[in-house]
Structures are given as C-alpha cells and as structure tokens.
Amino acid sequence: MRLDPPIPLSTPKGNGYAHFLIDEGIENHFFWMVFINETGEIWTFPNTQVRAEKNISLGRYLKDEKWEGIRRDWNKPKDS
C-alpha cells in the first residue's frame, strides 16, 4: 500500500520516510519500505525494526538510537 503522505520513521539504517507498507497476512509482520534520508538507499524493515521518529509535541521521546527506554506512556500525565 502506498503511504500518502509518507511517514517519518527511525530505522537501524538511519531516519527516513516510509513510502510503502507491505502486508503479507495475519501470520507475519507488516513491512515498511523506507527511503533513508542520509544515503538515499531504499530498505524494507519489519515492524520490530522501525519506530516512529521523535516528536516532542506528541510526547514521544527517544532516549537513544537503539530505542531502549522508549516512552510507552505517551497518554499518561507526567509526575509532578
């Protein structure tokens, strides 16, 4: 499926935009076809290898490039 507009994603190869989503059925992950910003390469990644890019307006923070400690409580209020 073509994604319009493309979705910004973080991948093991760097940040890029997903232009296509491949659904191979209920027994498999979705696959994201991502155009890498820095190199122009086109890679396909399963769901387990991509993350939405950092977006502080939505409360989505990435602590490091390997996504350890991704905030999963985006809708919960912050501690005072």
pLDDT in tens, 20-61: 999 988 888 899 999 999 999 999 999 989 988 877 777 776
Rounded to whole angstroms, the Cα distance separating 48 from 52 reads 12
Q: Is the pLDDT of residue 78 over 60?
A: no
Q: Is the pTM value of this prediction over 0.75?
A: no
The length of the chain, given as a count of residues: 80
Question: Where are the chain's structural domains?
Answer: 2-58
Whether 24 contacts 66, CB under 8 Å: no
Report pLDDT for 28.
Answer: 86
19: left (phi over 0), alpha (psi -120 to 50) or beta: alpha
> Which residues make beta-bridge pairs with 8?
17
User: If pLDDT is split at 50, 70 and 90, which confidence band does 63 have?
Assistant: low
Give pLDDT tens digits for 64-75: 544 444 444 444
Q: For residue 60, give the nearest of 18, 10, 26 by alpha carbon.
A: 10
Report pLDDT for 59.
Answer: 73
Report pLDDT for 62.
Answer: 63
